[in-house]
Chains A and B, each alone.
Chain A
Amino acid sequence: SQTIHQWPATLVQPVGSPLSLECTVEGTSNPNLYWYRQAAGRGLQLLFYSVGIGQISSEVPQNLSASRPQDRQFILSSKKLLLSDSGFYLCAWSRTSGGYSNQPQHFGDGTRLSIL
């Protein structure tokens, strides 16, 4: 069966510090990978998605970047965090067969990021 792991579960960082959140998927090959942010009491906002190694699409302009150095590894980064970067960050994967738009996305348990 497929599993998705995110770490760390919680993170407290000062403004201006760098960020690296990691996500890995097991049990599948060539998944589509996604990073979302969820603000308190709100829905999910898609930040980045990737259909393959080194292929990153950004959905919103922001202080964050994403990279996919390996097939099942997706990293969310920032060089200098802002207060507005606080939130709950979720990684997800989906199968590529039939086009990613018609496949369910499966989520990790997220990283709660607090910027002080």
Chain B
Amino acid sequence: GESVGLHLPTLSVQEGDNSIINCAYSNSASDYFIWYKQESGKGPQFIIDIRSNMDKRQGQRVTVLLNKTVKHLSLQIAATQPGDSAVYFCAENNWGNLIFGKGTKLSVKP
């Protein structure tokens, strides 16, 4: 079936480096995507979203890239900080519902 997935379940980066978290989706009709950050014991926190009529969107230290040709979504975090350590989820609008991937755990090494 169609689903949202992730290339890597874990990612470890050095503090100050840039992080890139990837997500693949399979529903070519999806027109809206969201990235969430979830810290331990808390609910997912909205980071940034992007609609399918865009290829790139920037926020504070974060950038989301959408490649509709290969159905790929990525989240870039600039100058990664210890506070960025969390699980990151992408979500896809799939026939009116948001479908979430399993998440990528980002660990930041001091």
Contact = CB atoms under 8 A, between A and B. Distances in A.
A112 B41 CA distance: 8
A7 interface: no
Given A43-B100, A43-B103, A110 B43 contact: yes
B102 A41 contact: yes
Q: Is the interface of B mostly helix, strand, loop or mixed?
A: strand
Interface residues of B, number: 22
Contacts of A49: 97
A40 to B, nearest CB: 11
B102 A42 contact: yes
A90 to B, nearest CB: 5
Interface residues of A, number: 22
B84 interface: no
A101 B32 CA distance: 8
A62 B93 CA distance: 23
Contact of B93 (A41, A101, A110): A101
Interface string A77-116: 0000000000000101000000111101111111010000
A90 B32 contact: no
B98 A43 contact: no
16 contacts: A41-B102, A43-B89, A43-B100, A43-B103, A44-B89, A46-B97, A46-B98, A90-B44, A99-B96, A101-B98, A102-B31, A102-B51, A102-B93, A104-B34, A104-B49, A109-B41
